[in-house]
Amino acid sequence: MQVGCYALVFLANPGTVVPVVVSEERHRELSESFHYCKRCRVIREKGVYHCKECDVCIDGYDHHCPWVGKCIGKGNLRYFQGFMASTLVLLLFITFATPICSYLLH
């Protein structure tokens, strides 16, 4: 289950915002706007943030996860939460099952 959730997090699109091609004049106009990303050349709506590690704008950006190696955003947040929950269950199982099995085997 944990490997499956990890794969879904890794393979799912986190919500990368696709740049729109605009003229150089329009680019200069938009650059002065607060809600325009100069690096990605996208109009940033509410909830869209630029990730410095990936160098892309992500819709619903939560954070950049070093364990998965990509951004966590609107498109893969649910899978990431499943991955974290399955990791917690595995950790709890190992924590409690190891001493019990050790006790029963001796």
Active site residue 40: no
Q: Which helix (H) or strand (E) holds 95?
A: helix 77-105
Q: Name the active-site residue from 5, 65, 71, 101.
A: 65
Is 58 in contact with 66 (CB distance < 8 Å)?
Answer: no
Q: How buried is 105 (Cβ within 10 angstroms: 0-12 exposed, 13-18 middle, 19+ buried)?
A: exposed
Active site residues: 65
